[in-house]
Amino acid sequence: MPDLTPQTSTTASRLFIFGLCLIFRWINAYFTRTYDNPDEYWQGQEVAHNLVFGYGYLTWEWQEKIRSYAHPLSIAFVYKLVQILRLDNTDLLVSLPRYFQSSLTAGADYATYSLAKKVIGKDIALPIVRLKQVFLFLSNMALFL
């Protein structure tokens, strides 16, 4: 029987690092109560809501079809799951896209860790991810000071 311990250990450490990134991003999403750019965020939610639930206001950019549906479709996916599960209430419709996008960002954090680990080395990879997270957190906060 082959020894799977190294692979299991590696998989566990990968999941642990990704879990840390995910927890950080979800905590950040929970505590962030600042203004979001409506063109990039709220319009995505409005369009996704319109796609899934069949009603809602669409601005002229969407009526004239000059914007891409890539971003709203990702939110529409989340909204469709909520609709199928019959959990579609205002609180979830407002907060779930934030956590969904936080999860995607955690994936980017983990990819940064993996790249740093391959290029620079294992010892410096995690501090690089932490610096990236702090930098992004502070740069987002600086917009609203």
Q: How many residues does the chain have?
A: 145
Q: What is the pTM of this model?
A: 0.74
- Burial zone of 109 (CB within 10 Å; 0-12 exposed, 13-18 middle, 19+ buried): buried
Our measurement of the distance from residue 114's CA atom to the centroid of its chain's CA atoms, rounded to an integer in Å, reads 18
Q: How far is CA 72 from CA 24, 37, 42, 43, 100, in A?
A: 24, 15, 10, 8, 12
- How does pLDDT run across 27-79, given as a tens digit for each residue? 988 887 765 555 666 678 889 999 999 998 888 888 888 888 888 999 999 99
Torsion of CA 52, 58, 63, 67, to 10 degrees: -80
